[in-house]
Structure 1
Amino acid sequence: MSWLILPFIVRPIIGVLTQGFFQPDEYFQSLEPAHRAVFGYGHLTWEWVAQPPIRSIAYPAIWMPLYSALQWAGLDNGALLVLAPKLLSGLLASLTDFFGWKFARKLYGPRVANVWLLLSLTSIFHVLALSRTFSNSLETTLTVASLYHWPLVDGLYVHHDLTTALFLAALSCLIRPTSAIIWTILGGELLIRTVTKGQSVVPILSKVAIVGTLFSLIQSGLDTTYYGNPTFTPLNFLRVNLSSVSSFYGVNQWHYYFTQALPILCTTSLPFVVHGGWLVKMLPGEIGRGSRTLFNLCRWVITAYSFMSHKEWRFIHPLLPIFHLFAALSLASL
């Protein structure tokens, strides 16, 4: 357990030491709109000024209290305006390691969990992207936190809390609408499994309806307040990104995620990811079934993203903790 202190030291340090940018979105879809909302100036890209707008203020709203606190304290000078978001994003990134370790321990025990933590902390792609202010980075954190609470496996001694999982999943979708792909797949599997066991799906659907309605109202309220007129950006976001507009930013081959993104995300752990994916096919019982659900989740999410013309490595960043889970299972078995 003492090893879990490391992420809360390592990730903020990485965040502070990170220089330059990976892609412009880490500023123009997060810090810049937040800065403009608090200080009254800052550049807004076309997504924010289009009619209708396609970007939600939900993610920039995370940084707005930070800027407001600095302004109130009279500390809104250049150095702290740069440093404070780096520290916050580093702390948020550390929660990926925290919940990922707990998730790995829940499924496979402490040995695999410790290997998972080592893989996560030494991941080159995590070093590159996780502590940055990308919405994908927070989506990664929220995804693994929700997976820890998600009823992936059944058992008397296995912790799960569907309500908490749904709240975290909904927050992930609030931050990034395409996260719904992950939760649609997992939700469908949960419903099928529930029906197969002869149980009612009404309690599950009721919770989904309540949480979904609540977060839809929150989304609409935030965006309507920010834009000054009734606005629900997820629909606008999906409509534009599924159109030819997204192709302006680059078009990739259908195999991009398999031949480029996976090797770049996993780097040297890729052979162990493949071996671990093969091992889960043979795991018995509920753990085996849950592990195969994760394997199928990765397969279907990548397939779904492969149908989109515009592709980026970071779009499947939320799957990296699962890839590390397979790699840890492989390494622990050697």
Structure 2
Amino acid sequence: MTAPAPVTAPPPSVVPTPDAPSAEVRQRWPLVLLLGAVGALPAVIAVAQLGRIHPDEVYQLLEPAWYRAHGYGVLAWEWRVGLRNWAAPGLAAWLLRLADVLGLTHPVAYRALLAVPQAALHGWMAWAVYRFAERRAGHVGGLFSLLAVGLYGPVLVFAGRTLGESLSTAFLVVAMEALDREERPVRAGLVGGLALGLAVVARYGSAVMVLTALVWLVMARRWRVLAFTCLAGLGVALGLGALDWATWGKPFHSFFAYVDFNVLSGQAARQFGASPPGFYLHPFLTGLPVWVWAVAPLGLLALRQRLAMSLPLFCAAVYLVAIIATAHKEERFLYPGLVLVVLAAAPSLAAFVLRQAEARARWGLGAVALLASLVPAHFYPPMDLRGDQFRAIVSATRDDGARGLLIVNEGLWGSGGFFYIGKNIPWGTCDHPSDANFQGAMRDRRINRAVTFEGRAVAELQAAGFRVVEQVGRETVLARD
């Protein structure tokens, strides 16, 4: 009986490795789950809170979109002189039309629909944070940096909001990561240029970041990336020019009008006020997590060794100088610079935490750092969301019997507009019972709903036939037959 022939193993290149895909999947799923959670969280917060950080959140995107979709609404002066482009409001208008088709007539429902693409954009931003940090601190360091930036207080406050700063900053982070890549320069340039261009479309003030990023590429002598960045950016610019031509009758009308109003003519400072250079000092110091200052020496050491500043830090530094030098200042203008500083510092923090020898020290330091990331939300930006007012407006106008609304103790630009009323009924705002708007509303029998902040004029409203029907936080909802 002959022995069986020996079974030879296949060459190493074709040896099946069943555990490798499983390990890769196990490594990928935490990242996917984190990206989904971090991407959706700011949008969920914004929809749950309602309210506004700044009137522009309503009157530079939501209300123009409502006007575009339904043919009525309050258009701010910028939309009458062509100081803005219709890209973001135009997209939102199509989503509002989709909401009508789907039967989403409740303001919270169609506001949630608008939040879907913004959550996707923020998820893209989160992926960029992970990629940027992974190159410097490995996979675990990338995950930790993703949490450090994703749970950064101002990001949670801003990223789900319909502000130009919110949209533009997400695109800027994507661009920073793309242009930071050493591999695949063509793709890096195309993605980076596309993201930079969209950052400017979302907010013209981000043009400073674009020019700074191009200078950084020149200094780094990354000519191929620079060429394709400019090519992709040119494509976005041509699209913007075509959009302005179609909507304002002249290519780049909104961009040139913006530059003239905010930079060349000084009208922004005359109309909205000028502030000294120290205006941003307090929000800058309180708006950054304390761990940024703790890892700053590590960043300076790396800077000395590499003789080059990272792209997000370079852009943040130039941008901060630019907004300090600009006469008209607002706390929200600081947001893009703060996020880029945190992005630049997060990999150093992750590397420091992961270098700790003991697991207890790593977990403890990591938890403290993430908690510290949340803290600036308490200080920056200083504002009253007035979410209870927006929720009260929604509640007051939901039933079919609501024929008109008066909002007491609030001005026009602080209110939610037709977007949150959700129907074409007469409405107005006033501060005191002696105001002409209040007196006119009391005589106008169409005005049968009222919302008043902190109980102002409740007695006068009741004397005119209104009765209290609901209390929403600090807001009182009243109705009359």
Determine if the TM-score, normalized by the shorter chain, exceeds 0.5: yes
SS in 1 for 2:37: helix
The answer to which of 63-72 and 117-126 deviates more is 117-126
CA-CA distance at 1:215 after TM superposition:
2.1
SS in 1 for 2:52: coil
Runs of 5+ consecutive residues of structure 2 not aligned to the other structure: 1-27, 354-481
CA-CA distance at 1:135 after TM superposition:
1.3
Cα distance change, pair 316–244 in 1 and its aligned pair in 2 (3 A): same
Q: Is residue 57–residue 162 contact of structure 2 (8 Å, CA) maintained in 1? A: yes
The aligned residue for residue 324 of structure 1 is 342
Are 2:192 and 1:165 equivalent residues in the alignment? yes
The aligned residue for residue 66 of structure 2 is 35
Cα distance change, pair 158–333 in 1 and its aligned pair in 2 (3 A): farther
**Structure possessing the higher radius of gyration over alpha carbons:** 2
Distance 1:69 1:332 in 2: 46
User: What whole-Å deviation, never above 9, does each CA across 1:223-275 have from its counterpart, x for those lacking one?
Assistant: 22223555521111011011332123232221223x12313432xx1x32123
The aligned residue for residue 23 of structure 1 is 54
TM-score after normalising by structure 2 = 0.60
SS in 1 for 2:155: helix
1:252 to 268, 272, 275: 275
Are 2:298 and 1:279 equivalent residues in the alignment? yes
The aligned residue for residue 479 of structure 2 is none
The aligned residue for residue 96 of structure 2 is 67
Q: Is residue 148–residue 160 contact of structure 1 (8 Å, CA) maintained in 2? A: no
Letter in 2 for 1:317: Y
Are 2:144 and 1:115 equivalent residues in the alignment? yes
SS in 2 for 1:283: helix
CA-CA distance at 1:130 after TM superposition:
1.2
Runs of 5+ consecutive residues of structure 1 not aligned to the other structure: none
The aligned residue for residue 14 of structure 1 is 45
> When you count strand as a share of all residues, which structure comes out higher?
2
Cα distance change, pair 82–232 in 1 and its aligned pair in 2 (3 A): same
Q: Is residue 190–residue 231 contact of structure 2 (8 Å, CA) maintained in 1? A: no
The answer to which of 273-282 and 183-192 deviates more is 273-282
CA-CA distance at 1:220 after TM superposition:
1.8
The aligned residue for residue 263 of structure 1 is 285
User: What whole-Å deviation, never above 9, does each CA across 1:153-181 have from its counterpart, x for those lacking one?
Assistant: 64x69996111111111111122122121
Letter in 2 for 1:173: V
CA-CA distance at 1:101 after TM superposition:
1.8
Q: Is residue 12–residue 88 contact of structure 1 (8 Å, CA) maintained in 2? A: no
Distance 1:205 1:296 in 2: 16
* Identical positions, percent: 21
SS in 2 for 1:59: helix
Distance 2:246 2:185 in 1: 42
The aligned residue for residue 201 of structure 2 is 174
Letter in 2 for 1:105: E
The aligned residue for residue 324 of structure 2 is 306
SS in 1 for 2:211: helix
1:241 to 262, 275, 280: 262
The aligned residue for residue 296 of structure 1 is 314
Distance 1:172 1:60 in 2: 15
The answer to which of 91-100 and 203-212 deviates more is 203-212
Q: Is residue 99–residue 144 contact of structure 1 (8 Å, CA) maintained in 2? A: yes
* Larger RCO of the pair (alpha carbons < 8 Å, separation 6+): 1
Q: Is residue 256–residue 311 contact of structure 1 (8 Å, CA) maintained in 2? A: yes
Distance 2:196 2:232 in 1: 10
CA-CA distance at 1:89 after TM superposition:
3.0
Distance 2:134 2:255 in 1: 35
Cα distance change, pair 98–205 in 1 and its aligned pair in 2 (3 A): closer
The aligned residue for residue 215 of structure 1 is 236
CA-CA distance at 1:94 after TM superposition:
3.3
Q: Is residue 272–residue 327 contact of structure 1 (8 Å, CA) maintained in 2? A: no
> When you count helix as a share of all residues, which structure comes out higher?
1
Distance 1:68 1:38 in 2: 6
